[in-house]
Amino acid sequence: MEITKTVLSEQVRERLIGDIMSGVYMPGDRLGESALSKRFNVSQSPVREALKSLEEMGLVTREPYKGTTVRAVSDLELYETSTVRAALESLAAGIAAEKCTPDDIARLEAIIDEMLEKAKTGDEAGRNRLNNEFHDEIIRISGHSLIAKLSKTLRFASWSRIRGARIRNEAAIHLTMRHRDLIHALTIHDSQAAEEMMRSHIEENMSWIPLTPPNPLSDAESK
């Protein structure tokens, strides 16, 4: 019975992560155990376990008498997570370049084709969802389990802010097309180029978000 509860809580957790990443739930939105248990047709026990896991990942906050809410992300946290993401996912891209098959490339191309359609129609939530899928696919190809485990939490901070930035259609199309360069590097198994393309892609993605650059000296002085 305990195994069943664990599986249910993991399923609820993954659904909630997807909902947060795609904008179904935005920063500040409340996640009530009762409402979620009805939505997923499960008891409150796996929902409670899932929310506890999300709190440990830093995606939600839980306060007495207030319940659980989706957590907002500060400029400093966004800066820190984006630099770590760039390092981790560029490593994954380099490893993936050594392992990818023609079938892998075909899946990545299909994702980009659909993402481009979303970008052209201004469907930012759909484009973000497919972008996450693209990055997840590259990490899957790399076979690096630790990067896979860390990436979702790190990416949450980035995409939650990107959603709020209201990226223009032409910018969304440009960012989507940049994935083609990365796919080319993967196709020819050029690990160094794949690493550089992934790092550049993440850094450029973040440049479209209004962000006050953190000042480490000021932060230290304020403590």
Query: Does 6 share its domain with 109?
Result: no
Query: Does 79 share its domain with 50?
Result: no
pLDDT, residue 211, reads 54
Residue 183 falls inside a structural domain: yes
Who contacts 2 (Cβ-Cβ below 8 Å, separation ≥6)? Answer: none
Query: Does 66 share its domain with 79?
Result: no
pLDDT, residue 222, reads 47
pLDDT, residue 158, reads 57
Query: Does 99 share its domain with 125?
Result: yes
Q: What's the CATH number where 7 sits? A: 1.10.10.10
Residue 29 falls inside a structural domain: yes
Mean pLDDT of 195-208: 83
Domain hosting residue 160, numbered range: 75-207
Number of structural domains (the chain) is 2
Identify the top-confidence range among 8-12, 71-75, 162-166.
8-12
Is 173 a residue whose pLDDT tops 90? no
Q: What is the dihedral of CA 85, 205, 96, 181, to 10 degrees?
A: -160
Query: Does 13 share its domain with 90?
Result: no
Query: Does 136 share its domain with 88?
Result: yes
Instruction: Tell me which amino acid residue 13 is.
Output: R
Is 6 a residue whose pLDDT tops 80? no
Mean pLDDT of 85-100: 96
d(CA 177, CA 13): 32
Mean pLDDT of 96-114: 97
Residue 149 falls inside a structural domain: yes
Query: Does 91 share its domain with 65?
Result: no
pLDDT, residue 167, reads 56
Query: Does 32 share its domain with 95?
Result: no
Query: Does 81 share its domain with 117?
Result: yes
Residue 191 falls inside a structural domain: yes
pTM over the 0.85 mark: no
Residue 222 falls inside a structural domain: no
- Label residue 23 left, alpha or beta by phi (over 0 means left) and psi (-120 to 50 means alpha): left
Token couple for 134:
């693209």
In sequence order, the β-bridge partners of residue 68 are 62
pLDDT, residue 129, reads 80
From the list 80, 83, 75, 105, the residue with the least C-alpha distance to 183 is: 105
22-79 pLDDT, tens digit each: 678 888 899 999 999 999 999 999 999 999 988 887 788 998 888 999 988 777 777 7
pLDDT, residue 139, reads 96
SS3 (DSSP) at 165? helix
